Amino acid sequence: MLMIDRSKLTPEVDSNFPCPVCGATSGCRANREIAFCRGDRRRPKKIGWRRWGQEGDFSVWATLSGQDLLEAKLELRTDQGREKGEKGEKGDRPASTEAEGRSPSQIAYEALYSDRPWATILGRLYRWAGTHYELASDDTELKRIAEFFNNFSVEKKGRLTYPYAADRHVRNALAWVKLITAIDPSAVNPSGAINCTNGVLVFDWKGNYPTPRLEPHDPTRHYFLNPPGTAYDPNAPTGDCDRLLAALDPPEQQILLRTIAASIDIDRVRKFHGRLVRGVLAQGVGSNGKDAHREAFSQIFGGAGLISAGFEDFAQYDDGRKFPLAGLRSARISWASENRPGINLDKLQSLKRAITGDPLHFELKGRDHEEFLPKAVLIFNINDLPNLKAGLEAIKTRFAILTYRKIYKTGADPERGEIEADPRFKYDPEFLRKNVLPALLNRLVEAFQALIVEGIDYSPCDCALEKIKIYNSHLFEFSLESGLTPDRDSVIPIKEFWARLESWYRSTEVLTWQKNCNAWAEPIRRGDDWVKGANQIYNRFSALFPSIELVNLGGNRRGIKGLKFVPPRPSSTVLPEPEPELKPEPELEPEQPTPAPQSHQVGDRVIVSASGLDGIITRIEGDRALVDGQKVFGWFACVELEAPRLLEVSGRAGP
């Protein structure tokens, strides 16, 4: 035992170490006995208040825990009561719940949770860590409360008792702490603010123009649940940031940056621009930079503001399971790195609502579902072209396709669109934090300002969008090549419509004549069947153009209202799987003008000049004919079929 004699202490020490029990630096009423165990930790074995020992240092008070001091206060009050009388005055007895009117939960809260800010969000307890709130697990807190109650004594009839060392008191105390510290979940990741290591970046608004400003961290307003990923430095160098963004061409870089920037304050963006922000489909195969972009933006928003809700999660939501989308309630960005191909995006109603900010519901285990407004921008990494078959406007107003064409590899060849790989962009958080993220944050601030003033120009995505539409439906390809376009007042007779479509099928050899009957080629993609009759036209094209109507033209004739054929524009669309280009054979003689075709009839004997075929015409279909069972094409089919060498019917031999 180490005995401390307070009377031996110097005045200087006494003034520097006020009594932690009553706070007095002189004339302390606690000049009794305190006994300590000798050992490395010098923890108090027992606190009594009867006399002081003969040696020691009063600085040992600094090692006392809150429970030790609380017990000291209780014994001091007991002695104070005994000095005034055997029973003492009211309030001088040991601090029990009956005497002071405090429940065990209140005692635990005052002793364990009054040292720093705490917050409970959706039933989970968080403690303030200086720049953010960090999760405090229930198991850890239950143990901490249990240890406190295990050492908390109450004097009863002259004996120390431990009435709160029970499971129910421990769990009730934690439940009470969560009730006291609960906050509205909508306050998490507050809009218009980005958590940084050197403060919180907010925006001052003057009209419709935001100006960035850094303010100190405030635990009563800034409920961020993950540590900040970078510092705000308006003058940060941009070299490594530019290398990261080089995976996309400059116009597409702006689309990505402004889409991500919209998550800073999506409510303000929708106030100025409505449903401008679309869902982004980041398409590309191989090491193309998508994952590196996702990692960088995730660190800027501290991880907690970015979740990964994929197509399958939205499909499960539509099937009745609300849990997969619960994270959207507090998320700023949903960037799904992996998505199962084949899901029809047109049928995902929850996805459409999330993109446009319409109400959704979420549910947690054991709780009823609740409504919320999604405020996250949505990005989906895809390798294959997605399944989109809706009408042109329905797709255009909801989705933007960003194509990652470049490839990252060691020993890159710039001529082939390759970029030298640098694994630090994905696997070195420290490199990102110091060299990339400060400049990337500045680019986001600039993009946010430009977004508010100018909006987002999605025209660079049009070519990729046409490619996806053609890939999913051959009728889109027909519409582009034939010049079929919406027109509210125009009407196309069904008979004329079918004649155009049938001719297109024959020109692409989808429909051929074999063995005296029509023969259809196998569909290229499952679910994209050919239209094999005029009676199917309205149903199939109304899926592409929902506003069209089937009208009666009289005389047992029908038409399609809302569409018209116009001269087709040249298409810059790159088809998904182009056929190999046919190279013309070298010409030995100067090309001679092609003579105009003569009128032929079935039974005529003709000579095909390009091949020397000499035979009888057995069938004629427009610009095509069968000569002794072989296909023959007229000269005027050259432009339509885009082949450099065609068979030409010329001359009439015989009767």
Of 93, 112, 147, the domain-final residue = 93
Same domain flag for 457 and 538: no
- pLDDT at position 556: 87
- Does residue 603 surpass a pLDDT of 70? no
300 plus 366 within the same structural domain: yes
pLDDT at 632 over 80: no
Average of per-residue pLDDT across 592-616: 55
Average pLDDT over residues 157-173: 91
**pLDDT tier, 137 (very low <50, low <70, confident <90, very high otherwise):** very high
* pTM over cut 0.85: no
Determine the straight-line distance between the first and last CA of the chain, rounded to whole angstroms: 135
Residue 646 has pLDDT above 70, yes or no: no
- The predicted pLDDT at position 441 comes to 96
Could you give the CA distance from residue 343 to residue 477 in angstroms, rounded to a whole number? 22
The least confident of 259-268, 528-537, 608-617 is 608-617
pLDDT digits (tens, 9 = 90+) for 503-554: 999 999 999 988 788 889 988 888 889 999 999 999 999 888 888 999 999 8
Is 511 in the same domain as 451?
Answer: no
Answer yes or no: is 475 within a domain: no
**Average pLDDT rounded to a whole number, residues 296-309:** 83
Smallest CA-to-CA distance from 375 within 200, 186, 182 is with: 186
Q: Please state the domain count of the chain.
A: 4
- Tell me, yes or no, whether 133 lies in a domain: no
Determine the structural domain holding residue 538 and report its residue range. Answer: 490-565
Q: Are residues 310 and 248 in the same domain?
A: yes
Which residues are paired to 493 by β-bridges? 559
pLDDT greater than 80 at residue 125: yes
* Amino acid found at 199: G
Buried b (16+ CB within 10 A) or exposed e, 389-405: bbbbeebbebbbbbbbe
**Tokens 């980005």 — which residue?**
194
| Residues 285 and 228 occupy one common structural domain | yes
pLDDT band at 385 (very low <50, low <70, confident <90, very high): confident
Torsion from C-alpha of 575, 282, 484, 574, nearest 10 degrees = -20
Assigned domain for 613 exists: yes
> Is 101 part of a structural domain of the chain?
no
pLDDT tier at 30, thresholds 50, 70, 90: very low
**Alpha-carbon distances of 250 from 342, 399, 436, rounded to whole Å:** 30, 19, 18
Q: Are residues 463 and 494 in the same domain?
A: no
pLDDT at residue 160 in the model: 87
In 129-272, the DSSP E strands lie at: 133-135, 154-156, 159-161, 193-196, 199-206, 209-215
State residue 615's pLDDT score: 65
- Residue range 166-170: average pLDDT? 95
- Name which residue leads in pLDDT, 362 or 82: 362
Higher pLDDT, 118 or 600: 118
Same domain for 463 and 559, yes or no, is no
pLDDT at residue 648, as a whole number: 40
**Spatial CA neighbour of 146 closest among 126, 127, 167:** 167
Q: Output 223 or 579, whichever has higher pLDDT.
A: 223
- Please state, for a pLDDT cut of 90, what percent of the chain lies above it: 40
Looking at residue 185, its amino acid is P
Q: How far is CA 41 from CA 20, 44, 320, 521, 550, in A?
A: 19, 9, 57, 86, 89
At 560, is the pLDDT very low, low, confident or very high (cuts 50, 70, 90)? very high
Structure-block tokens of residue 305: 């503001």
Would you call 355 helix, strand, or coil by DSSP? Answer: helix
Give CA–CA dist 261/441, Å, rounded: 10
Same domain, 439 and 502: no
Question: Does 454 share its domain with 515?
Answer: no
Highest mean pLDDT (candidates 2-16, 233-247, 302-316) = 233-247
What dihedral angle (degrees, nearest 10) is formed by the CA atoms of 243, 249, 252, 258? 30
How is the beta sheet containing 44-47 ordered, strand by strand?
A: 2-3, 34-36, 44-47
- Residue 41 has what pLDDT? 38
Triad 58, 62, 65: Cα angle to 5°: 125
Residue 342's region, left for phi above 0, alpha for psi from -120 to 50, else beta, is left
**Res 388 pLDDT > 60:** yes
CB within 8 A of 427, min separation 6: which ones? none
Rounded to an integer, the average pLDDT of 207-227 is: 93
Q: At residue 331, what are phi and psi to the nearest 5 degrees?
A: -85, 150
Lowest mean pLDDT among 196-200, 244-248, 387-391, 498-502: 387-391
DSSP letters along 79-105, please? HHHHHH-SS-STT-S---HHHH---HH
The verdict on 239 and 334 lying in the same domain is yes
Last residue of a domain, one of 426, 452, 467: 467
Q: Which two tokens stand for residue 414?
A: 């710039």
Give yes or no for a contact between 544 and 476, defined as CB atoms under 8 angstroms apart: yes
Percent helix / strand / coil, the chain, rounded to 5: 35, 20, 40
Average pLDDT over residues 92-103: 53
The residue among 548, 565, 582 that closes a domain is 565
What pLDDT is stored for residue 131 in this prediction? 94
517 and 632 in a single domain? The answer is no
Q: Which of 26-40, 177-191, 276-290, 372-386 has the lowest mean pLDDT?
A: 26-40
Instruction: Compute the average pLDDT of residues 81-92.
Output: 39
Supply the pLDDT for residue 233: 95
| Residue 318 resides in a domain | yes
Comparing 396 with 201, the larger pLDDT belongs to 201
pLDDT at 631: 64
Whether 506 and 463 map to the same domain: the answer is no
- 312 within domain boundaries: yes
Higher per-residue pLDDT: 631 or 42: 631
Please give the residue that has the higher pLDDT: either 181 or 321: 181
Predicted pLDDT at 154: 86
Q: Does some domain include residue 240?
A: yes
In a domain, 139, yes or no: no
Q: Which two tokens stand for residue 376?
A: 């996250």
pLDDT of residue 587 exceeding 60, the answer is no
